[in-house]
Amino acid sequence: MVRLLGRAEPRSTRPGGQRTQRAPDRAGRTRERQRQTRSAPVDRTSAGHRDGGSRSRWEKVAGLRSTLGGRSLAAQVFVLNVVIVLLLVVAAVVALVLQVRHDSTTEARNRSLAVAETFANSPGISEALRSPDPTAVLQPRAEAARKAAKVDFIVVMNTDGVRYTHPKPDRIGKKFVGTLQPALAGGTVVEEIDGTIGRLVQAVVPVKGTDGSVVGLVSAGITTAHVGGAANRQLPLVLGAAGVGLALATAGTALASRRLLRQTHGLGPHEMTRMYEHHDAVLHSVREGVIIVSGEGDLLLANDEARRLLDLPDDAEGRHVLDLGLDPDTAGLLASGRVATDEVHLVGDRLLAINQRPTDLEGGPPGSVATLRDSTELRALSGRAEAARERLDLLYAAGVGIGTSLNVTRTAEELAELAAPRFADFVTVDLFDAVLGGEEPEAGDALRRTASSGIRKDAPLYSVGEQIRFVASSPQARSLTIGRAVNEPRLDQAPGWRAQDLERTEQVVEYGIHSLITVPVRAGALVLGVVSFWRSEQPEPFHEDEVALAEELVARAAVSIDNARRYTREHSMAETLQRSLLPRSLPEQGALDLAYRYLPAQAGVGGDWFDVLPLSGARVALVVGDVVGHGLHAAATMGRLRTAVHNFSALDLSPDELLARLDELVGRIDQDEAEEGAGAPVAGATCLYAVYDPVSRRCTLARAGHPPPAVVQPDGAVTFLDVPAGPPLGVGGMPFETAEVELAEGSRLVLYTDGLVEDRERDIDTGLEMLRTALTRAEASPEDTCRVVLDDLLPARPSDDIALIVARTRALGADRVSEWEVPMDPAAVQDVRARVTRRLAEWDLDELTFTTELILSELVTNAIRYGGAPVRVRLLRDRSLICEVFDSSNTSPHMRHAAMTDEGGRGLFLVAQLADRWGTRYTPNGKFIWAEQPLP
């Protein structure tokens, strides 16, 4: 076949696909060959074949019988063509019916939905639904729209499904048949049903009022029969094409038979000629270009499509492909004869996919055949698909890349950085000041430029941190007002935008920014701010598809911004509550040199606390606690426990007894909250309570599930005190035990919470060893100890609160303490006064002699009269003068108001009037009654 096509003279076309006059010439030569064929029998008769006519008639009959019998090549070709045409016809009819049915349903769904949405969103629909007679207003409009849109019905109904309009007036006022729930929820419904008028598709869409609520429904429907009919119109064409195909097959077989009758006694020349013309017609009518090049690089054949795609000259055939004016890459490929598969070349403004194969692979003539396919439209479609994929990638990136932190500013920055330059050249995010503080914005609040990102840093836009008030005509103000995106395709022609700041807007236009989309940041009904997308590099303005993408992008970011705002508000409230419950300053006392640190966790407010509590007898109590968990609940529970510790310490309870009462309190809190369903129980609170006495230099400690305290001796040795570990507060059922240790003056007592020594990256044993190392190399001052410990142990991002107290001990020397025993004799009170007078004189406190004598007289007299032996008196000179009287009785003294006629009962009243503070402290062997007076 290649040889036959190579010998035949191909058709010649002009640029654009128009036939030239060479085709009639070829037809003329064909008719000449036919005349020669018809004259051949006459020539043979004149040469002496007297039986030529009979023989010619016999050949025709034999050819006919051979053809009918199916033994000749022409018969086989004919049968094969018939079978192929029939298969193609059947396949075409089946495909046509299926495609028409699918297209009819799809068109019916699209048209009904489009008509319903258009009518539902047309002006005045919601007002007509609220009118006294909606049917009078809507029926004419619905019928007019139905006729114009060529649908079978347009029905307007209320939210209960009662019709206001219908093509048949007798059905107005009756219930609509169909699915309404998704439309009542603000969505759309498209469904296929079997109605009284046949199979139909109907759509139901909501009509929304100005507040966004659904005030009515609109349904439009059309039968699939009315949008079909394409099969009936196209079926005759298919059958006609089948008939033409059969006719062409028959004609081709006849041509081959006539041609072969002369050469093969089975096919005649007419059949072969027609077969050639058939293949020639197909070759020149296909949509792919065909190029045949000889082994020397000469163009042998180019069909009409190839001439059009390559813009070949009229005399191209017979010339070398390098001389046809093609671009060097394409000409080089065609001249080389190498194998190529879908190689894309730019020819003019077309992208051609070229496939090339050599013709001498199986002994054929040297040369190559190339096919050319125009892939320009396919590339354009691929470009649109790529753009859609990029938009999906952008939305996916927004879902995973925006909102990685619960910080409003950072979330806004993530939105700006993601959208520029993937969607816009510049992106700015403006939020209300109240949103940045975690609060809900109010009408009239100013916005603040929270984030900005772009392809360059020198854009003349408002800078980050600047407060902005947009004028009412600006796109940003309009989008905030209407709650939807606003597109300004041409900023140089937008007077409303220019009114914001004439000088700045002029600079923006001169900079090259020419198009803008503003989208409000909405979280439900709450508007948090506005996002602006600016375009400068691309000359085309933003279009409606990009507006929808911008709205979707901002909608996803708005959820994260609102979550960050809510977290900021709750975190600020919890942090404020927590700091208000912690000590703002340490009380004055002389027993300890103190330094402390409190670091809240970055993940949220916790329940750690500490306290320093001065006690009677110059003693000081240190307490550190931790409520497991974070948030307002933990902070509030911490405040309740701290208050309880204050109250219990005022009773001078021992550490184990104080923890036991705290345990009962936490148990009651858990029980109350469990009954009220207020939240999770508080179980898990820990506490360490220590009391240091500077006179004896002894420290008494007890702990409830808390890490052990550390002691740094004056020589630098570090030990962790072996304090019995009781259960956490609220567990109950186990008694707490105390430990007592004597501390050398200058020792450092280190109390801390578990956030210092334990986190997700290290266990508590590793943390305790790190703490030991840090304390070993820290200097003696409490402040330096706190600094070194935090430098070595503080995590980069603490997941729990950290409380740290370092207390360096002092001792109250013997020269500042005076103690003696008093006999159980009322007369001994006089000796007490004398000794007090001498001691106060030694301490240069003569001004306090009278009051001190009176206080001790009353306290000693009560101890002798109502208490038990032994009775001891102790004077302490610290920041105040402390008088203490001990007796072995456990009876509690009570102050009472004596009547005018009573002889006694005024002793404790006088003590309360003369002393700043007084009280009772119980011990296992008795009690102390003490009173404090300020030093002059």
Give pLDDT tens digits for 17-60: 333 344 434 444 444 444 443 344 433 333 333 344 444 444 44
| Diameter over CA atoms, the chain | 185
Instruction: Give me the pLDDT at residue 864, please.
Output: 87
User: CA 419, CA 554: separation in Å to the nearest integer?
Assistant: 10
In terms of DSSP bridges, do strands 871-877 and 817-822 run parallel, antiparallel, or are they unpaired? Answer: antiparallel
Mean of pLDDT values over 72-86 = 70
Token pair, residue 85, equals 């045409």
Three-state DSSP class for residue 636: helix
Instruction: Give me the pLDDT at residue 677, please.
Output: 53
DSSP string covering 784-801? HHHHHHHHHH--SS-SS-
Least confident of 39-48, 176-185, 285-294, 751-760: 39-48
Helices 22-46 and 269-285: crossing angle, nearest 10°?
170
Mean of pLDDT values over 427-440 = 91
Instruction: Give me the pLDDT at residue 179, please.
Output: 85
Three-state DSSP class for residue 135: helix
Q: How confident is the model at residue 378 (pLDDT cuts 50, 70, 90)?
A: low
User: CA 220, CA 122: separation in Å to the nearest integer?
Assistant: 14
CB 852 within 8 A of CB 833: no
Q: What's phi and psi for 70, nearest 5 deg?
A: 80, 10
Q: How confident is the model at residue 862 (pLDDT cuts 50, 70, 90)?
A: confident
Q: How confident is the model at residue 258 (pLDDT cuts 50, 70, 90)?
A: low
Instruction: Give me the pLDDT at residue 145, please.
Output: 86
User: CA 852, CA 335: separation in Å to the nearest integer?
Assistant: 125
Helices 230-263 and 269-285: crossing angle, nearest 10°?
140
Token pair, residue 821, equals 């025993």
Q: Which helix (H) or strand (E) holds 764?
A: helix 764-777
Instruction: Give me the pLDDT at residue 482, please.
Output: 92
CB 799 within 8 A of CB 595: no
Reference 26, options 277, 316, 399, 395; nearest CA is: 277
DSSP string covering 58-86? HHHHHHHHHHHHT-SHHHHHHHHHHHHHH
User: CA 650, CA 659: separation in Å to the nearest integer?
Assistant: 14
Q: What's phi and psi for 629, nearest 5 deg?
A: 115, 175
Q: What's phi and psi for 620, nearest 5 deg?
A: -135, 135
Three-state DSSP class for residue 269: helix
How many C-alpha atoms does 636 have within 13 Å on its Cβ side?
Answer: 10
Instruction: Give me the pLDDT at residue 689, please.
Output: 96
DSSP, res 926: E
The one-letter code for the residue type at 676 is E
The one-letter code for the residue type at 348 is G
pLDDT over 90, % of the chain: 28
Q: How confident is the model at residue 658 (pLDDT cuts 50, 70, 90)?
A: very high
CB 204 within 8 A of CB 183: yes
DSSP string covering 544-566? HHHHHHHHHHHHHHHHHHHHHHH
Q: Tell me the three-class secondary structure of 828-852, residue by residue.
A: HHHHHHHHHHHHHHHCCCHHHHHHH
Helices 230-263 and 22-46: crossing angle, nearest 10°?
40
pLDDT over 70, % of the chain: 82
Average pLDDT, the chain: 81
pLDDT tens per residue, range 726-735:
899 888 778 8
Instruction: Give me the pLDDT at residue 603, please.
Output: 59
User: CA 623, CA 642: separation in Å to the nearest integer?
Assistant: 9
pLDDT greater than 70 at residue 854: yes
Three-state DSSP class for residue 884: strand
Mean of pLDDT values over 435-464 = 89
pLDDT tens per residue, range 786-826:
999 999 888 777 778 888 999 999 998 888 999 999 998 88
User: CA 877, CA 813: separation in Å to the nearest integer?
Assistant: 10
pLDDT tens per residue, range 453-502:
999 999 999 999 999 999 999 999 999 999 999 999 999 999 999 999 88
Higher pLDDT, 556 or 38: 556
User: CA 244, CA 89: separation in Å to the nearest integer?
Assistant: 11
User: CA 354, CA 78: separation in Å to the nearest integer?
Assistant: 34
pLDDT greater than 50 at residue 580: yes
Instruction: Give me the pLDDT at residue 688, please.
Output: 95
In terms of DSSP bridges, do strands 725-726 and 698-704 run parallel, antiparallel, or are they unpaired? Answer: parallel
Instruction: Give me the pLDDT at residue 466, please.
Output: 92
pLDDT tens per residue, range 98-107:
777 777 778 8
CB 783 within 8 A of CB 805: no
Q: Tell me the three-class secondary structure of 596-635, residue by residue.
A: EEEECCCCCCEEEEEEEEECHHHCEEEEEEEEEEECHHHH
Q: Which helix (H) or strand (E) holds 285?
A: helix 269-285
pLDDT greater than 80 at residue 859: yes
pLDDT greater than 60 at residue 6: no
Mean of pLDDT values over 126-150 = 86
pLDDT tens per residue, range 218-237:
988 888 766 655 556 666 77
Reference 129, options 206, 234, 226, 72; nearest CA is: 206
Q: How far is CA 800 from CA 266, 572, 630, 683, in A?
A: 101, 17, 8, 17
Token pair, residue 914, equals 């003369």
Reference 269, options 282, 248, 254; nearest CA is: 254
Q: How confident is the model at residue 295 (pLDDT cuts 50, 70, 90)?
A: confident
User: CA 650, CA 920: separation in Å to the nearest integer?
Assistant: 10
Least confident of 34-38, 551-555, 686-690, 908-912: 34-38
Higher pLDDT, 692 or 177: 692
Higher pLDDT, 57 or 910: 910
pLDDT greater than 60 at residue 66: no
Q: What's phi and psi for 880, nearest 5 deg?
A: -145, 170
Three-state DSSP class for residue 676: helix
Instruction: Give me the pLDDT at residue 751, please.
Output: 95
Instruction: Give me the pLDDT at residue 178, please.
Output: 84
User: CA 399, CA 402: separation in Å to the nearest integer?
Assistant: 6
Instruction: Give me the pLDDT at residue 269, please.
Output: 58
pLDDT greater than 90 at residue 741: yes
Q: How confident is the model at residue 165 (pLDDT cuts 50, 70, 90)?
A: very high
Instruction: Give me the pLDDT at residue 411, please.
Output: 93
Beta carbons within 10 angstroms of residue 581's beta carbon:
17
DSSP, res 438: T
Higher pLDDT, 390 or 442: 442
pLDDT greater than 80 at residue 868: yes
Token pair, residue 359, equals 């013709």
